[in-house]
Amino acid sequence: MVILGIETSCDETAVAVIEMSPLKRSVQAADIKILSNVVLSQVPIHRKFGGVVPNLAKREHQKNLVPVLKSALKEAKLFHAKKQKTEQKFSSLQIRILHEIFEREAELIKRFLKEIPKIVPPQIDALAVTVGPGLEPALWAGVNFARALSYIWNKPVTPVNHLEGHVYTVMLGETQIQKHGFHLRTMKLPTLALIVSGGHTELVLMKKFGNYKIIGETRDDAAGEAFDKVAKMMKLGYPGGPIVSRLAENVKQNKKIKIKLPRPMINSGDFDFSFSGLKTATLYLLRDLEKKYSLAELRPLIAKEFQDAVVEVLVVKTIRAAKKYRVKSVILGGGVAANTKLRETLVAAVKNNIPNLELYLPSRHLTGDNALMIALAGYFSGDKTPWKKVRAEANLRLSWQ
């Protein structure tokens, strides 16, 4: 089964192709061959604004989707140009329907009409596309692209929840992704997923494969968003997570400068989070200390204490939830899962508190947004939806099915 995944929920335009071979009768056991995994990041474009600008993201997705699709097909050896010039045309009916689909993507339809008729429909079995959560205009670009391809190529579409993609990434293992086929890692159930990204911070219980219950989430800012905002206040650029975590490495305690930040909601008794207050506390601390010390001196110290605070809250609550729900494994996923301190602290905490719990960390190469995870989640969902019914849902939530 060959699946082509499409992801445009934020500032990455991504297309990937995977080939799945199910093993035994269990739905979870399968071999995967990653035929291609193309990600085009828009970070350089959004950097000057200090964050992702939704309409700019949409404009870039419209520009990039066709070229990224072509690269992904070429890499997967599924790209074949049509030979006959006469074949390279859509019918007037097709053109009319495409105009309906791309009603709000004027730029994308131009590229679609120019390039797609020249491509022989590839040997794929299904399309999978992120329908949410994410930035509404950005999501629609990918969703309408998938709907149009589904219509023209006559392939079914599977709508995918972006966060489910982050969860399933751990099945690909922890190492650099391999090009040849390999076994997916099976997850021991029930499992608890800590999803930490720029838009989300959630603790999700999965008792059965594909059935989710959110047991805790952030009440305001997401963990990644807090990293980005703290980086901005220290004039460090965007995205802040990787910059702050690099700065925090090897920082020794400075006896002269006292830095202590709160651990918000660490003892709240539930599994919710809040990072907005921590961000404000960091701002006040910075303002106060800047009266006496230089920003250059303060940056690494604040980066370290801020990171320690976020990581401590995330890990303490994850361990408590794992104990309460008696799960057999814990999954880490999302952009912030690239954070070394978080990974190491979680490994140590599991070892010290629940030694027989299995911990699945994602490969660092796949923590950021990509379409490989969307294709994989699409395979497991298997939900084939007629293209007319596929819609973007900016606030889509994980739920029991």
Give me the residues that bind Zn ion (CB under 5 A), please: 197, 369
- Please, what is the minimum distance in Å from the beta carbon of residue 247 to ligand KG4? 11
| Number of other CB atoms surrounding residue 208 within 10 Å | 10
Q: What's phi and psi for 5, nearest 5 deg?
A: -100, 145
Judged by CB under 6 A, does residue 335 bind ligand KG4? yes
Report whether 397 contacts 195 (CB < 8 A): no
Tokens of 390: 């596929």
Q: Among 247, 369, 392, 396, which residue interacts with ligand KG4 (rule: CB under 6 A)?
A: 369
Q: Among 4, 6, 10, 126, which residue interacts with ligand KG4 (rule: CB under 6 A)?
A: 10
**Which is nearer to ligand KG4, 50 or 242 (by Cβ)?**
242
Report whether 138 contacts 392 (CB < 8 A): no
Q: Among 3, 4, 139, 336, which residue interacts with ligand KG4 (rule: CB under 6 A)?
A: 336
Cα–Cα distance, 362 to 331 (Å, whole number): 8
**Which is nearer to Zn ion, 197 or 345 (by Cβ)?**
197
Judged by CB under 6 A, does residue 142 bind ligand KG4? no
Stretch of 99-107, 110-118, 145-153, 193-201 contacting ligand KG4, by CB under 6 A: 193-201
Return the DSSP state at 118. Answer: G
Number of residues that bind ligand KG4 (CB under 6 A): 20
Judged by CB under 6 A, does residue 261 bind ligand KG4? no
Cα–Cα distance, 207 to 374 (Å, whole number): 21
Stretch of 84-92, 212-220, 223-231, 343-351 contacting ligand KG4, by CB under 6 A: 223-231
- HSE-up of 69 (CA within 13 Å, CB side)? 27
**Which is nearer to ligand KG4, 73 or 336 (by Cβ)?**
336
Closest to 394 (Cα-Cα) out of 134, 10, 61: 134
Closest to 210 (Cα-Cα) out of 382, 347, 87: 382
Residues contributing to the site for ligand KG4 (CB under 6 A): 10, 197-199, 224-225, 227-228, 239-242, 245, 334-336, 338-339, 368-369
